[in-house]
A and B are shown apart, each in its own frame.
Chain A
Amino acid sequence: MDGANGEEFAAGCILAIKTTLGDEFEGQIITYDRPSNILVLQEGTTKPGARRNLRLLKANYIKDFTLLGRGEDPLDPKKCFIDLAAIQAREDAAMRQAEIEAERIGVGVTAEAQSIFDALSKTLPVRWDKTVIVVMNEVRVCSPYLPDNVSGGTPAANERVKKVLEFERKRLQARSPGQF
């Protein structure tokens, strides 16, 4: 659909849109930027002030749309203030958070391995060493992460890791049977 065609929508209109990729969503228009051809939609018609889902959609992917209604402009120009410092801080926080989470993710490991890692990390300090799970900096569990693959560490630690591993495997299997 031609991006510029009939896209002179006022803010606040509620549309139902179908994209060329087959997605469908509804939302209220916040703005439409012609130069970049981006339509900003707001989903979740909660009261203003609450958080909502935003969607920035490239207009040229709109296959079809329906005007569902007209509402108020969800964006109050008078209230649009931006605290850059706050934003920056938020981004930093998010980055930190993401980094922490990223540490937990093994690179080049299977999803199963990742699940095991996550399960172990709940009670034991674990970290990735390439594709090897290192528990308590002593015990190593390598692929395919079976109890037999547990090596290293004191016998007690070793045993403990083995047990936890078995348990976690059983639990994972119980939860998603046939997956492993």
Chain B
Amino acid sequence: MNPQQAVPPRSSANGFGRRRVDRETGTRMDNNRMHSGKPTSPNFGLANGSKVGGVAGPSHDRLIYIMTCLIGQRVEVLVKNGSIISGIFHSANADKDFGVVLQMARVIKDGSGKGQKPINDTTKKPQTMIIPSRELVHVFAKDASLSSDEFVNGHAREKHNDFLIDSVISHPHHVEVERELEHWIPDEDVPACPELENIFDGMWSRNWDQFETNETLFGVKSTFNEELYTTRLERGPQMRELEIEASRIAREIEGEETHDHHLAEERGIYFHEDFDLDEESRYSAVRREADDGRYEENENSFLDAHNVETFRGSFGSAASRSYSEVLSKQVNSEALASLTCSSADEDSQVPADKDAHVSGFTDHVTWPTSDSLVKSSSLMDEKNRLDEKKTKDQDAEKILLNECTDRIASEEAQTSKSEDVHPSTPLKGLSASAATYDPSSSNQINKCPAGESSDSAISGKLSSANEAVNTSLRPGFSTSSTSEHVGAGSVSGGALSPSSSVGSLSSEKSTLNPNAKWFIVLFIFDIQEFKLNPNAKSFMPSASLRQHTPVSDGSFYYANTSHMHDISMGIGVSF
């Protein structure tokens, strides 16, 4: 192999001559004839050209190759007197003789035999050593790589090593195999832990005013006024009355009936069906306010009663007004436009059986589950249940119906008809829209959501409505899942505190028919959209409930009006 560099090599180690290394001072060279020098760059010592190549042929080439491979490698050189020198292989002269140059070389083992060296021998700094050929016995390289692959790998490896891994830093060659572990005893003179217990002593004694201190130390004037953040209590006779009044109110609130399980638990109200709730539902699961048949009859009554109670005095235009407000607020963020199904489709299909629909609607308006379209006995059960509340909810229904129809109408007329209460027209509209879904039973679905909306409207508790809508609506889509009772009551569920009962609908456990799989079709529409957007897209059945059940009537439909998301959950029974 020809030398790649044109550097004038030190052709022969022998001819190098003795030289003291500059950097080392006062170090005795243990081995005679060790030279020190500063090599400049790696070379092969084939100073005089490539003469060698032709002489020895391939075997020499191999030697050269191997020597090249060794460059940078830590090697040990055994010399004639038995000493071993360890260093980094820098270059070698393989011309006539074989001498090597090692950098950072140290004598590891001294075999000069100049008497037993005491253990406390002085250590030496590594230096560059040239080992002439006649001294050299052998060069031993441990873990040398010979092929290019190894080069690459090794190089990469060393590159990593350059990053000074921890073990490198902690002197691996001084590694201790075994360490005696001793129990740690704190030093006596080390100050013991400051009394942590005492640190906060007197903190509450108000002897220390932080603002004062701050001002003293740093001249910082504070404008802190505690009363900005709290109400000052004046001790005195009036206080007592206020306290009494406050307690009364508190008791009232806490004693309220609630269908929200969390609240109920706090107040100590235990639903009799509580055992059905597992820990997850009680404390951890997200409440999707969809009814799922879990809603019990009594709960229904509860709900109805509550609704009625809450809105006792407000049925009527006021209620309807509130409805629209409520609904609009509710549906603002989400909105299923279900009912938005709207005019376009309506017109196309006017079911003949709208009467039936209407009645169905009326019946089931408040009860989402009941509106399951499935013609099944369980449905009938639901119907029965609904019938119970029907009377109570009639008003609410009507109002809701009005709302629904209003919306639909508003699409065309763009007028807010919240004041309007025309049972007939709303029903028509609804049924019409319902019809669009599915002549067979979709009306019920329609009603259902309408009922839902009314419920929610009735409850008038919108706060959570939006969230409920959001959360419930989304999953609602996958109504196919049997247990997915996406918050039909979503709107309502969120809205009501009794919505908890509605929300319980979403629970999978149906008390009506354990074998029945309920899913809720919920249509939530955006009132505002209706009012403002005459072009609100009419719903179109996107897909039928992928129920392998006759209920496939219930179909998903969504409106693509601006921000309306499709959330139609079908409540039905599949078996």
Contacts and interface: CB of A to CB of B under 8 A. Distances in A.
Interface of A: 11, 19, 21, 23, 30-38, 40, 42, 48-58, 61, 74-77, 79-84, 86-99, 101-102, 104-112, 114-115, 118-119, 121-122, 159, 163, 171, 174-175, 179
A23 B189 CA distance: 57
Contacts, number: 229
A90 B71 contact: yes
Contacts of A76: 147
A19 B78 CA distance: 11
B227 interface: no
B69 A82 contact: yes
B94 A38 contact: yes
Interface stretch (B137-145, B210-218, B416-424): B137-145
B138 A53 contact: no
Contacts of A82: 65, 68-69, 148, 151
A90 B154 contact: yes
Interface in B132-188: 133, 136-152, 154-155, 158-159, 161-162, 168, 170-171, 173-174, 176, 178-180, 187
Given A86-B151, A91-B42, A111 B119 contact: yes
A32 B71 CA distance: 19
B572 to A, nearest CB: 68
A51 B173 CA distance: 21
Interface stretch (B50-58, B448-456, B525-533): B50-58
B62 interface: yes
Nearest to B58: A77
B78 A31 contact: no
A104 B172 CA distance: 13
B97 interface: yes
Given A52-B144, A53-B142, A75-B146, A87 B63 contact: no
Interface of B: 4, 24, 26-27, 42, 52, 55-56, 58-60, 62-63, 65-74, 78, 80, 82, 88, 90, 94-98, 103-104, 119-126, 133, 136-152, 154-155, 158-159, 161-162, 168, 170-171, 173-174, 176, 178-180, 187, 189
A110 B117 CA distance: 12
A51 B143 contact: yes
B52 A51 contact: no
Nearest to A57: B138
Contact of B98 (A37, A52, A89, A121): A37
A79 B147 contact: yes
Contact of A87 (B42, B168, B189): B42
A84 to B, nearest CB: 6
B169 to A, nearest CB: 9
Contacts of A61: 137-138
Contacts of A53: 140-144
Contacts of A56: 63, 66-67, 98, 138-141
Nearest to A171: B180
Contact of A90 (B158, B170, B178): B158
10 contacts: A33-B60, A52-B143, A57-B138, A80-B147, A90-B154, A91-B72, A91-B88, A105-B125, A108-B26, A119-B174
| Most A C-beta atoms less than 10 A away, residue of B27, B78, B189 | B78
Contact of A35 (B56, B141, B159, B168): B56
- Tell me the interface secondary structure of chain A in the complex: mixed
B188 to A, nearest CB: 12
B125 A107 contact: yes
Contact of B96 (A35, A40, A52): A35
A98 B104 contact: yes
Given A89-B155, A111-B121, A33 B94 contact: yes
A58 B98 contact: yes
Contact of A36 (B96, B123, B179): B96
A36 B143 contact: no
B66 A87 contact: no
| Most A C-beta atoms less than 10 A away, residue of B26, B67, B189 | B67
A106 B176 CA distance: 20
A101 B162 CA distance: 13
Given A19-B138, A91-B42, A54 B144 contact: yes
Given A81-B148, A87-B68, A110 B138 contact: no
Contacts of A23: 78, 138
B121 A110 contact: yes
Contact of B56 (A33, A77, A95): A33
B27 A40 contact: no
A40 B62 contact: yes
A55 B122 contact: no
Contacts of B72: 87-88, 90-95
Contacts of A86: 151-152, 155
Contacts of B151: 81-83, 86-87
